Structure 1
Amino acid sequence: MSFDNAFDALTQDDGDTRWAFGTGFDDPLAGIDPAVPEGLDRAALAAYCLMLGDDALVMSHRLQEWCTHAPELEEEVALANIALDLLGQARLLLARAGVAEDKGRGEDDLAYFRDASDFRNVGLAEADNGDFAYSTVRLLLFATWRLALLDRLTASGDPVLAAIAAKSVKEVAYHRDHAAMWTIRLGDGTGLSHDRAQTALDDLWPLTGELFATHEVERRLADAGAGVDPADAREECDAVIDEVLARATLRRPAPVPPHLAGRDGAHSAALACLLAEMQGLAREHPGATW
């Protein structure tokens, strides 16, 4: 099929959701009333969108750090595109948080002018990249969990959150499958790649307990029919991870009990370093546009 220009080729809907721009440039919120539904707790909705948006924003930045460092060019492009997907999700979710809290803050204010203690992302997203096996296993754990949440959020009582989730499910399904492919390739590859993948899994596993701990905000939104209790997604996530690990010949670590940390603003030093890099330009030139 021929196109008059490259932009037409990118925006043409060919049904291939695996291409980073294949989900199109259409506004996922077009035609949806942005007003917070009657009876829904605005503060809780804002806090919930911050949690999901911060997860995506921080994870996106970690993946962007692989640019010029990935083991092969094709993988560098793939990781950059996954990072762009997550950045797009973060923008929508932070914008929704700003509307819900109604304090005059937009997506840029929330991304660039909050300190680490104000971020609500899970610790898994902020951990340093480590080697390629570490980042691959981290992406598998993160995407498997996020996909389970987003799939349930497509039925959210908040139409905006439901629309964001519907768009994001297509993207994160690819993220999970891509990470699974690489985890199997590394785990069932050479002795060195297997050992590195197993070490990454062992190191990251303690952070997974936080993924399934239910914060009061999550419980409140779930009870209102607008959010998801992450504990309800654990069985589904376990089944997916177990299948991937079996094919990758990797040993699953011992179970980790649920615990809260990042959702309450408790973070590692790694997040402060990440934010210093990500927010530096905006804070040096507040209000600037380019």
Structure 2
Amino acid sequence: MLKQIALVAAFALCTAVPGLSQKAVLDKQQLLRDLKVLAADSMGGRLSGTPGNKMAQEYISKRFSQIGLQPYNNTYNQHFRLESRRIVVEQATNLVGYIPGKSGKTIVITAHYDHVGEREGQIYNGTDDNASGVAALLAAATYFKKHKPKHTLIFVALDGEELGLQGANAFLNNLPVPKKDMLLNVNMDMLSINNKGELYASGTFHNPALKPYLEQVDPRPEAKLLLGHDRPEQGQDDWTKQSDHYQFHKRGIPYVYFGVEDHPHYHKPTDDFSNVNTAFYPDAASLVIDFLKVADKKLGKK
């Protein structure tokens, strides 16, 4: 009995030591706080070029600074001209910060912060699409700031996704690091509304070498990882072209896109914080960080 107690105590001690657990731990309250702020009515749906979009920029930039992300050329802002059939924005803005690694190679983590704004007097807050991805990006940055990565991690909050993936295109046309050094894009778009506990990782059809890394990600109590939504024969269920990762894919950069399946609140005024599954979402964000841990460790090995 005493021997059993000693073994239990030793096990508890090991699991309590930071860095020995395989699963990342994030600050759930901060994650939900970031989500709620970005999805507030005061931001007016964050349409590119609007005051609400500018408010989101300022909030994300402040959080980058608090986390301790380093800027390129002394600024997080990457400005670009955005033009669509609906609007022209002379100064749309991506926000870019990084955590230096040791290898000289990079992994780019992306999530778009813009949404569709207001329509017919109703605010489309875009809580899931895609304040959820941005809040998870901030959580990942916080984790890796405390746990130094092997590769340099570049965190990019993208503008102009809803108007044709234009922020991702602008980022890739003005890279802060050589394209040849980019090992992977991890894109997050819609992580917080799902009642089946299912988060999808899309992209292994095009990037089969990444499948073993995803298979090493263990389920969380409220969320499990499924692979799929990336085969051409799936039509609209093929997510290859449906978010910012497509711009990376077009340029031959491997990607994994994390997201949930469509739900009744997608691109509706009801995509509000009140509909977030607050048990599922933190675990979904944690699954992405767990994958990033594996990818950072394994990628680039000869």
More helix by share: 1
| Both proteins in one fold, TM over 0.5 | no
Q: Which has the higher strand share?
A: 2
Q: Normalized against structure 2, the TM-score is what?
A: 0.31
